[in-house]
């Protein structure tokens, strides 16, 4: 099958003094082999928690996966032992973050960290691991890999650190690379270079990429398909070109309208924004979670949550505007 990762009805809740927060509230999507799938939404939509749930790196004191299935080539990751999931994390799925300093250890050199990562999974000599690490640094476009091997993370620029992080992520030859806002902390020109790098290593390593981003510009440039999340739920998903051409869900439409366009010389401050805020995960409205912000809200929207329904071959949308029940109302 061409499905690498198959997520069904994933629910990740946070149990806090202020009650239960349904951060991920019944999410379904698939990542196909060789594709880049983007998850997009404003902050607080549950996209990072979805990514952390796949790798089971949630803060266990408060966060728990309470339901669903995460199949990696047929194996349910939620049924694995801690030891087995650690193996998946190092060998099948790698993750890179917005700020590489959070995953690079400041007291070890880049060379040390990448070769250690290699040695965890390969029975090879230390010197061979060192050579392999240096090869990976050169593969990710670091100009003087031999010198960078001996550098500490703080000695690198943000862009070079992200490249080093990508080299480390590649060291286990993963099937899936999860990239959570990988370019958000970088300058615009560096952002484009890092996204190009991710795209090129995806092809070279035959991986799939799950890209978490709030930036539709990045989605347009880099992703094949996109999942739009709002308040812990998928509200629309489909092929990137088709969604940019004809977004169905009012939230997706709002995101697109508030996206800066390169071909228009428009100051960012003049862009329309979606009025209002994502509701807190422990304080969501009745009905469609988007209705307080939706310019097209109808009576039924305030009462009942719409289902995710399929439109055409490749599009899903969760909105009463596209469900037959709603048409009885008018």
If one asks whether residue 183 binds Mg ion (CB under 5 A), the answer comes out as no
Q: Which one of 48, 113, 148, 208 is in contact with Mg ion (CB under 5 A)?
A: 48
Number of residues engaging Mg ion in binding (CB under 5 A): 1
Per CB under 6 A, which region of 185-193, 199-207, 216-224, 295-303 contacts ligand SF4?
295-303
- Among residues 142, 134, 188, 178, the alpha carbon closest in space to that of 162 is found at 142
If one asks whether residue 291 binds ligand SF4 (CB under 6 A), the answer comes out as yes
Binds 165, which of Mg ion, ligand SF4, none (CB < 5 to 8 A, cut-off by type)? none
Distance CA 92, CA 207 (A): 10
Q: Which residues contact 26 (CB under 8 A, 6 or more apart)?
A: 9, 10, 11, 67, 68, 232, 233
- Among residues 232, 196, 194, the alpha carbon closest in space to that of 96 is found at 194
Distance CA 31, CA 2 (A): 9
3-state secondary structure of 256: helix
If one asks whether residue 40 binds ligand SF4 (CB under 6 A), the answer comes out as no
Q: Which residues contact 218 (CB under 8 A, 6 or more apart)?
A: 38, 183, 191, 195, 211
Q: Which one of 198, 228, 231, 319 is in contact with ligand SF4 (CB under 6 A)?
A: 319
Nearer to Mg ion, 114 or 235 (CB): 235
Binds 320, which of ligand SF4, Mg ion, none (CB < 5 to 8 A, cut-off by type)? ligand SF4
- Among residues 165, 171, 166, the alpha carbon closest in space to that of 153 is found at 165
If one asks whether residue 306 binds ligand SF4 (CB under 6 A), the answer comes out as yes
Binds 133, which of Mg ion, ligand SF4, none (CB < 5 to 8 A, cut-off by type)? none
Q: Which one of 111, 141, 250, 254 is in contact with ligand SF4 (CB under 6 A)?
A: 250
DSSP state of 271: S
Binds 48, which of Mg ion, ligand SF4, none (CB < 5 to 8 A, cut-off by type)? Mg ion
Nearer to ligand SF4, 133 or 228 (CB): 228
How many CA atoms, within 13 angstroms, populate the side-chain half-sphere of residue 30? 15
Give all strands (DSSP E) within 53-161, no chain letters. 63-72, 75-76, 93-96
Per CB under 6 A, which region of 33-41, 86-94, 290-298, 307-315 contacts ligand SF4?
290-298
Binding site for ligand SF4 (CB under 6 A): 249-250, 288, 290-291, 294, 296-298, 301, 306, 319-321
């Amino acid at each position: 099958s061409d499905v690498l990762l198959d997520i069904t009805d994933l629910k990740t809740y946070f149990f806090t003094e202020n009650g239960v927060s349904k951060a991920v509230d019944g999410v379904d999507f698939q990542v196909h082999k060789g594709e880049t799938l983007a998850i997009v939404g404003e902050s607080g939509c549950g996209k990072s928690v979805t990514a952390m749930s796949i790798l089971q790196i949630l803060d266990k004191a408060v966060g728990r996966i309470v339901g669903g299935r995460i199949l990696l080539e047929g194996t349910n990751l939620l049924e694995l032992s801690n030891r087995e999931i650690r193996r998946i994390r190092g060998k099948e799925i790698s993750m890179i973050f917005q700020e590489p300093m959070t995953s690079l250890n400041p007291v070890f050199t880049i060379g040390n960290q990448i070769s250690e990562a290699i040695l965890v999974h390969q029975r090879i000599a230390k010197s061979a691991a060192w050579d392999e690490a240096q090869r990976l640094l050169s593969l990710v476009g670091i100009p003087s890999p031999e010198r960078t091997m001996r550098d500490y993370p703080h000695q690198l620029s943000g862009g070079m650190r992200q490249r080093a992080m990508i080299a480390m992520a590649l060291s286990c030859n993963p099937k899936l690379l999860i990239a959570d806002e990988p370019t958000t902390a970088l300058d615009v020109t560096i952002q484009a270079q890092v996204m190009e790098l991710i795209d090129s290593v995806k092809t070279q390593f035959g991986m799939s990429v799950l890209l978490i981003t709030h930036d539709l510009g990045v989605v347009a440039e880099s992703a094949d398909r996109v999942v739009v999340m709002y308040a812990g739920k998928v509200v629309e998903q489909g092929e990137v070109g088709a969604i940019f051409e004809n977004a169905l869900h009012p939230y997706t439409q709002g995101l697109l309208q508030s996206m800066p366009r390169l071909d228009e010389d428009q100051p960012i401050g003049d862009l329309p924004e979606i009025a209002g805020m994502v509701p807190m995960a422990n304080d969501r409205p009745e009905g469609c979670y988007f209705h307080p912000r939706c310019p097209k809200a109808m009576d039924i929207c305030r009462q009942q949550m719409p289902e995710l329904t399929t439109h055409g071959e490749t599009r899903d949308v969760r909105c009463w505007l596209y469900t037959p029940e709603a048409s009885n109302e008018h």
